[in-house]
């Protein structure tokens, strides 16, 4: 995944290195520069400096030095791309949707969760006492079993953790379910709860049969 140069420059022009460095060590103005205790080596007298004009840092003690991205890479142990992504988020600079491994892993995880949920709701509709009323309702509305199956309709049980518990057995993380829009985080305590409860589910299928949400 390549991040366009102009985006990188936009981030560089937006984020002040002295602000970022200030989150790791106290920076004090000293002439045209800022000084602080070096985050890269142990010291009692500040020898770490940031030039706010050039947006560069330099340590007279351990000779560490570089630009905004180098600083984040070094201090956080990140790759260059990771540092750009982190700083872009901070700067509010939109980066193109990446094919970085972690991104596609995440998408695959969400896709898996949506498929699992669609199947879970479908089974609840077809094979549970609770789904019976919903199924009757659909039949009365002219939906035949074939149609219900084809469109992947389902029944969300009237419970706060029906999907959550079933997903847990499949080792699908609540965080992934949340990203898929299937559960919500509790506001007043830890944990999550099912977003859809006691309702008929109409998953949106793309033309290749992928569950979109
Ligand atoms: Zn140093």
Task: Give me the helix-helix angle, 68-76 and 80-91, nearest 10°.
Answer: 110
User: Does the ipTM surpass 0.85?
Assistant: yes
- Cα of 63 from ligand 1 centre, angstroms: 6
| Buried b / exposed e along 75-90 (16+ C-beta atoms within 10 A) | beeeeebbbbbbbbee
- Residue 172 neighbours by CB distance under 10 Å: 21
- Cα of 23 from ligand 1 centre, angstroms: 16
- Residue 137 neighbours by CB distance under 10 Å: 12
Segment 47-87, tens digit of pLDDT: 999 999 999 999 999 999 999 999 999 999 988 988 999 99
- Cα of 159 from ligand 1 centre, angstroms: 56
- Cα of 42 from ligand 1 centre, angstroms: 7
**How far apart are alpha carbons 122 and 58 in whole angstroms?**
61
Positions of CATH 3.90.580.10 in the chain:
5-91
Mean pLDDT of 109-113: 84
pLDDT at 207 over 50: no
**How far apart are alpha carbons 196 and 160 in whole angstroms?**
9
CATH classification (class only), 101-201: alpha beta
> Which are the contacts of 200, defined by CB distance < 8 A and separation ≥ 6?
125, 134, 137, 138, 153, 154, 155, 156
> What pLDDT, on a 0 to 100 scale, did the predictor assign at position 69?
96
Q: Are 165 and 157 in contact (CB under 8 A)?
A: no
> What pLDDT, on a 0 to 100 scale, did the predictor assign at position 101?
61
- Cα of 52 from ligand 1 centre, angstroms: 18
pLDDT at 26 over 90: yes
- Cα of 64 from ligand 1 centre, angstroms: 6
pLDDT at 8 over 90: yes
Positions of CATH 3.90.980.10 in the chain:
101-201
3-state secondary structure of 162: helix
Cα separation values, 91 from 1, 19, 25, 108, 141, Å: 20, 12, 20, 28, 52
Q: Are 82 and 98 in contact (CB under 8 A)?
A: no
Residues around the ion ligand 1 (C-beta < 5 A): 38, 40-41, 59, 61-62, 64
- Cα of 80 from ligand 1 centre, angstroms: 20
Spatial CA neighbour of 40 closest among 52, 18, 24: 24
- Cα of 161 from ligand 1 centre, angstroms: 51
Q: Check: CATH 3.90.580.10 for 5-91?
A: yes
Q: Are 40 and 133 in contact (CB under 8 A)?
A: no
């Amino acid at each position: 995944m390549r991040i366009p140069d102009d985006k990188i420059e936009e981030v560089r022009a937006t984020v002040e290195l002295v602000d970022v460095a200030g989150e790791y060590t106290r920076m004090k103005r000293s002439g045209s520069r800022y000084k602080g205790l070096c985050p890269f080596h142990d010291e009692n007298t500040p020898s770490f400096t940031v030039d706010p004009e050039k947006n560069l840092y330099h340590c007279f003690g351990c000779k560490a030095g570089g630009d905004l991205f180098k600083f984040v890479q070094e201090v956080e142990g990140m790759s260059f791309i990771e540092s750009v992504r982190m700083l872009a988020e901070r700067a509010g600079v939109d980066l193109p949707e990446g094919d970085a491994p972690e991104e596609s892993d995440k998408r695959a995880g969400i896709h898996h969760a949506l498929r699992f949920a669609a199947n879970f709701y479908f089974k609840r509709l077809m094979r549970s006492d609770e789904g019976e009323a919903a199924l009757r309702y659909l039949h009365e509305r002219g939906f035949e079993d074939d149609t219900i199956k084809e469109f992947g309709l389902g029944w969300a049980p009237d419970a706060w953790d029906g999907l959550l518990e079933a997903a847990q057995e499949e080792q699908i993380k609540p965080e992934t379910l949340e990203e898929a829009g299937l559960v919500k985080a509790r506001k007043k305590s830890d944990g999550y709860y099912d977003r859809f409860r006691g309702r008929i589910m109409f998953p949106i299928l793309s033309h290749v049969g992928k569950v979109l949400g």
